[in-house]
C-alpha cells in the first residue's frame, strides 16, 4: 500500500474518523481562558474562567450522534465531516487557531500505517471469541 492509495479507500478513512469519535487522542482539549463574560444558553462563563472542551463527551453525545456508543464507521461514508476542527461533533485535534500543528502529519501517517497493518496481516479473533462477545471496553492510561 502506498500513500496515493489512501484517497481510494473511503472505508479506511471512515474507520479512522469513527475511532477518533469514540476514542479521541486526548479526552479534554487544551484549556482556554474566557476573554470576556460569555452567556451560553442560561449559563454564564465569567471573564478569566478556564474552559475545557470535552471531546470524549462530544463524541458520545446522543444529540449529535445516532447510537453514539456503537462503532459504526458507515456513518461517515456519505458525510463531509472531517477532523480538521470545522465540525464541532468531531474535534480530536482541537480547532481554530490552536488546532494541533501535527494534524497533517498524523493523518497521513495514521491512514498509511493502518492500511499497511490491515494489508500485511491475517487478522482473526481468538478461539471462542465472536464480534458480539469481544470486549471493546475502554482502558485508561498513557502510552
* Residue 140 reports pLDDT greater than 80: no
20-76, pLDDT tens digit by residue? Answer: 999 998 889 989 899 999 999 999 999 999 999 999 999 999 999 999 999 999 999
pLDDT of residue 42: 93
Query: Does position 142 have pLDDT exceeding 80, yes or no?
Result: no
Kindly report, residue by residue over 76-91, the tens digit of the pLDDT.
999 889 888 888 889 9
Burial class (CB in 10 A: 0-12, 13-18, 19+), 37: exposed
Say what the pLDDT of residue 84 is.
86
Q: Is the pLDDT assigned to residue 143 strictly greater than 70?
A: no
DSSP 117: H
pTM value?
0.84
- For all residues of the chain together, what is the average pLDDT? 91
83 is in an annotated binding site: no
What is the 3 state secondary structure string of 32-93?
EECCCCEEECCEEECCCCEECCEHHHHHCCCCCCCCCCCCCHHHHCCCCCCCCCCCCCCCCC
Residue 78 has a CB neighbour count (10 Å cut-off) of 8
Residue 135 has pLDDT above 90, yes or no: no
Residue 60 CA to residue 9 CA, distance in Å, equals: 25
CA distances from 116 to 2, 3, 108, 112, 124 (A): 8, 10, 12, 6, 16
All cell numbers assigned to 14? 471512515
d(CA 93, CA 87): 11
Amino acid at each position: 500500500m502506498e500513500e496515493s492509495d489512501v484517497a481510494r479507500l473511503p472505508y479506511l478513512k471512515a474507520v479512522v474518523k469513527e475511532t477518533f469519535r469514540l476514542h479521541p487522542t486526548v479526552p479534554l482539549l487544551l484549556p482556554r481562558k474566557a476573554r470576556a463574560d460569555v452567556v451560553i444558553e442560561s449559563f454564564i462563563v465569567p471573564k478569566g474562567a478556564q474552559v475545557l472542551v470535552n471531546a470524549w463527551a462530544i463524541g458520545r453525545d446522543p444529540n449529535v450522534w445516532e447510537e453514539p456508543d456503537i462503532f459504526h464507521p458507515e456513518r461517515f461514508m456519505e458525510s463531509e465531516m472531517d477532523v480538521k476542527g470545522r465540525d464541532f461533533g468531531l474535534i480530536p485535534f482541537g480547532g481554530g487557531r490552536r488546532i494541533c500543528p501535527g494534524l497533517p502529519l498524523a493523518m497521513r501517517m495514521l491512514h498509511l500505517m493502518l492500511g499497511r497493518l490491515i494489508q500485511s496481516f491475517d487478522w482473526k479473533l481468538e478461539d471462542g471469541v465472536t464480534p458480539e462477545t469481544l470486549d471493546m471496553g475502554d482502558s485508561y492510561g498513557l502510552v
